[in-house]
Structure 1
Amino acid sequence: MTSSTPPPPPPPPLPVADGLVSAARRNLRGVAHGLTHPSHPPVPPLAGSPRRWRRLVPYVVVFVLTALFLPVTMTMLANEYGVGAWPAGLLAVGQAAPLLMLAHRPLQAWWIVFPAGVLGALVLLAHPQPTQGIWPWPPPTLFCFLFLLLAVALRETRRTTVAVWALTATASLVLHLSVPERSNGSAGLLAIFGALVMVIGAVVRERGVAQRRLAEQETISVAERARRTLLEERTRIARELHDVVAHHMSVITVQADSAPYRISGLPQEVREEFESIAASARESLTEMRRLLAVLRSDGSAGERAPQPGLDRVQQLVEATVRAGLPVELSMAARLPDVPQAVDLSAYRIVQEALANVIRHAPGARTRVSILTDGTHLMVLVVNGLTEKPGSPLEPESSGTGHGLVGMRERVRLTGGTLDTGPLPDGGFRVAARLPLTPVAPAAPEDS
């Protein structure tokens, strides 16, 4: 018989007490770090305001508080409690002068006022208490603490705020229990009102943080929408330009393949050159069709339809008139040979401009002009004020601006210029100038 070795016993579980001790140590380290390291830079509130008077408000407030409480504290300690002039002055400086730091360093101000307040309470024990005297916190000291706790709650984290209040309330409780016959309620008042002002300050602070985060998210969302719009428009333009280029490449392929049959007596080297040209053209067409398959995610029949051009502007205007928009078309009777990219871009600019008029100025009289000077094609769409009340022309503020983004992208890719903007009479103008000869387009902007 073979004897089997029993498995080793499992390690004993970690005692619950050890886990609680470890958690308590971590929390204490976090509290100690929060009390010694401010969570915000030494920048006063409203420092980022564009108005100078608003940036000066925090400094004015802390200066007024210091100028008010410093002489009041010194006078009350000297006259009401019988403290000597020099001790009263030093205690007043320690308890009221740090109020100047409330705007940018409230936590450091608390580290000065808190021990100065406790020291002042101990100094008052050496003097007879006046009839109307309050111990351990005289009224000026009490109000200094409240303003200080409010400033800490407005700038520091929730953990640090609670720790500051807990230490202040603990000091009040210890002083009250040490000399209960001398204490007459200010210890409890500081704990209660201190908790109240700190809750108010924490609520205001967290609301401000939430608003800042919301504003940041809105800014990011706007930037992302603009970036996505630009990318979508570039993708659409890439699909359309692909169709234009594919047409020319197909013509090159056919011509290269048929050249040896159309032209007799070609040397063998020339025939091989035509075969190489046709093969390269077919390879390019294959690569471009593969790219088009990626761009056309839905593969809809509409994407395979012939791309529109200036020959369909008349139909576009007629459809817009049937939709209820009074449009007049002025178009040159004979246009020179227009490159397909310019032809398509001109049609899309007119289409988007009319769509913007329908959305932002329904019923406004609109004029579409397509002219040429021999070297450039001019596309002009001008509309007046809307004839329907309650629909003001606000192409930039009320709309998303996607149409104008697409227009600018198309014009930039063809090497032209675009001018858009409101008119003095309240209407709007879209003017594009597209070259009829190939021009190197401007480098695309980073998105």
Structure 2
Amino acid sequence: MYVNDRSQSQPTGLRTEAGLVRGVLRRLHQDLVEGAFAFHPMPPLDENAYQWSRRLLPRRLRRWSRWAPHALVGSLAALIFLSGIGQSSFGFSMVGTLIGSVFSFACTLPIALTLFRPVGAFWLSLGVLGVAALLNPNSGYGGYWSGMASFTHIIVMTLVVLRTRPRLAVEVWLVTMVVITVVCTFRGNGSDLGPFTFFSAVILVSAAAVRAWREERQHVVETETVTAEERSRRTLLEERATIARELHDVVAHHMSVIAIQAEAAPYRVKETPPELATAFSTIRENAVAALTELRRILGVVRSEDPDAFADANPEAPQPTLASLDSLLASVRSAGLTVEAVITGSARPLPQGVELSAYRIVQEALSNTLRHAPGAEARVEISYVLGGLGLRIVNGAPSRLAKPSPGAGHGVLGMRERVQMLGGEMTTGPTEEGGFEVAAFIPVSVSGTGTGPATNASAGEAKS
């Protein structure tokens, strides 16, 4: 029984090793053979990678800094080519100089080719290195060309690893060592094989580490970008849910007024025609049904955050600009020096506009308390013919702000409120080191007041 188990384990082990070898050869074939000479140009640097150019280079040269790696590789190839021509013209004959120039071009061409076809450049450089290794190292030509080919091949392998992936460092090194070992064995001279092996291994390991670090950094940047986008999207949805919860009371108030007026209208007219009474009854029934649907929608919105109003009175009316004094008193008690200026003739506005304006002022002052401690703030409210203008500006902070636990998307919520009402909003730092929030909310002349048939109210109910 023991013999049978042993006899069965050996083929299994052989199959496992054979599969491992086939996997390695398949990976080598995919990386170094398939599409080896495919056109794969090196892209220019992205904006995040050349921020240094904005500080060191003139404005006219900044856009060209994206092509700095291409210029560096091209300059390196040209420098080695000119050096090879100069070296060959000193100690060789006219024919040797011509052959040396051609060989120098063959050595440096793969360096420039790495910008477009990196794997193909490796094979071309490896072929030049194999030809140079076959020459007699004792002759003047052989020693010079072999050293130049070895030097340029290490550069080519390094560029290939930096341009592709870290694992190619092992693959190109193994293929190179196999070819050089076979050639040196055929020539019977391998004295320079040891230094070349060690030096090339150190260079390629360093290049693979740099490439791996760049890939990891790019992955982190992409992950952070996706996370920031998801956070912004989630914050936007949460802000819209908050706006929907707040506007529910506004729309529900208008629908309640419609229902009450429709129910009381028949009693205001003597001998009301049956058709008119039926019409008023239908209006009341539709208004009550709309209120029921609003409550259902509000239940869906609040289902994700059942404690949204746990600390507030759900029966309390939504705040308006008439409650601005109490808001200013609250922030003043928290240590903020704030001044309020109201220009124009104050008039009643649609409840949605009043509510959004109050929330914008509230959020802007909260941001001042959180991010600009010790600064003074100013609130400007302008009643103009076409709508309502808001401007909240604060000065420079007098001390460092503590880390805030918030998500930092207060401006996003304010912008969402303004866009919902068809307005415009701008934010940004001031010349004095503070921050400014300016918004304009349009209100039509027929939309002013608190009547249920205003244009703004219709827009709120649609939102």
TM-score bracket, shorter-length normalisation = 0.7 to 0.9
1:395 match? none
Shift of the 82–200 alpha-carbon distance from structure 1 to 2, 3 Å rule, reads farther
2:113 to 101, 108, 118: 101
Q: Which amino acid counterpart does residue 296 of structure 1 have in structure 2?
A: R
Moved more, 167-176 or 43-52: 43-52
Shift of the 237–120 alpha-carbon distance from structure 1 to 2, 3 Å rule, reads same
2:160 match? 152
Q: TM-score, normalised by structure 2?
A: 0.79
Q: How do 1:417-428 residues align onto structure 2 when only pairs under 5 Å count?
A: 417-428=424-435
For the aligned residue pairs, the C-alpha RMSD in angstroms reads: 3.7
2:329 corresponds to 1:318: yes
1:405 to 412, 419, 430: 412
Alpha-carbon distance, 1:45 to partner:
6.3
Q: How do 1:362-441 residues align onto structure 2 when only pairs under 5 Å count?
A: 362-373=373-384, 376-386=387-397, 388-390=398-400, 402-434=409-441, 435=443, 437=447, 438=454
Classify the secondary structure of the residue corresponding to 1:415.
coil
Moved more, 419-428 or 262-271: 419-428
2:107 corresponds to 1:110: no
Shift of the 405–86 alpha-carbon distance from structure 1 to 2, 3 Å rule, reads closer
Q: Which amino acid counterpart does residue 44 of structure 1 have in structure 2?
A: M
Classify the secondary structure of the residue corresponding to 2:135.
helix
C-alpha contact 1:34 1:160 (8 A) present in aligned 2: yes
Shift of the 40–202 alpha-carbon distance from structure 1 to 2, 3 Å rule, reads farther
CA distance in 1, matches of 2:253, 2:324: 22
Unaligned runs of 5+ in 2: 1-7, 51-61, 448-453
C-alpha distance after superposition, 1:375-400 (max 9, x if no partner): 533333333333x23459xxxxx996
Classify the secondary structure of the residue corresponding to 2:217.
helix
Alpha-carbon distance, 1:106 to partner:
3.1
Alpha-carbon distance, 1:358 to partner:
1.1
Q: Which amino acid counterpart does residue 396 of structure 2 have in structure 1?
A: L
C-alpha contact 1:80 1:130 (8 A) present in aligned 2: no
Classify the secondary structure of the residue corresponding to 2:225.
helix
Shift of the 346–22 alpha-carbon distance from structure 1 to 2, 3 Å rule, reads same
CA distance in 2, matches of 1:16, 1:303: 74
CA distance in 2, matches of 1:374, 1:54: 51
CA distance in 2, matches of 1:294, 1:41: 54
C-alpha contact 1:134 1:183 (8 A) present in aligned 2: no
2:71 match? 59
Shift of the 155–380 alpha-carbon distance from structure 1 to 2, 3 Å rule, reads closer
CA distance in 2, matches of 1:327, 1:368: 7
Classify the secondary structure of the residue corresponding to 2:84.
helix
Shift of the 384–66 alpha-carbon distance from structure 1 to 2, 3 Å rule, reads closer
Classify the secondary structure of the residue corresponding to 1:158.
coil
Classify the secondary structure of the residue corresponding to 2:32.
helix
C-alpha distance after superposition, 1:79-107 (max 9, x if no partner): 58999566555544433333222333332
CA distance in 1, matches of 2:159, 2:438: 56
1:210 to 208, 216, 229: 216
Moved more, 49-58 or 247-256: 49-58
1:287 to 293, 301, 310: 293
2:368 match? 357
More helix per residue: 2
2:118 corresponds to 1:121: no
CA distance in 1, matches of 2:326, 2:172: 75
1:3 match? none
C-alpha distance after superposition, 1:69-128 (max 9, x if no partner): 565389569958999566555544433333222333332122112122212222327xxx
1:30 match? 27
Classify the secondary structure of the residue corresponding to 1:239.
helix
Q: How do 1:73-88 residues align onto structure 2 when only pairs under 5 Å count?
A: 75=87, 79=91, 88=100
Alpha-carbon distance, 1:363 to partner:
2.4
2:41 match? 43
CA distance in 2, matches of 1:245, 1:40: 63
C-alpha distance after superposition, 1:154-179 (max 9, x if no partner): 12223433221111111222233334
CA distance in 2, matches of 1:335, 1:131: 97
Q: TM-score, normalised by structure 1?
A: 0.81
CA distance in 2, matches of 1:221, 1:372: 40
Moved more, 319-328 or 329-338: 329-338
Number of residue equivalences: 421
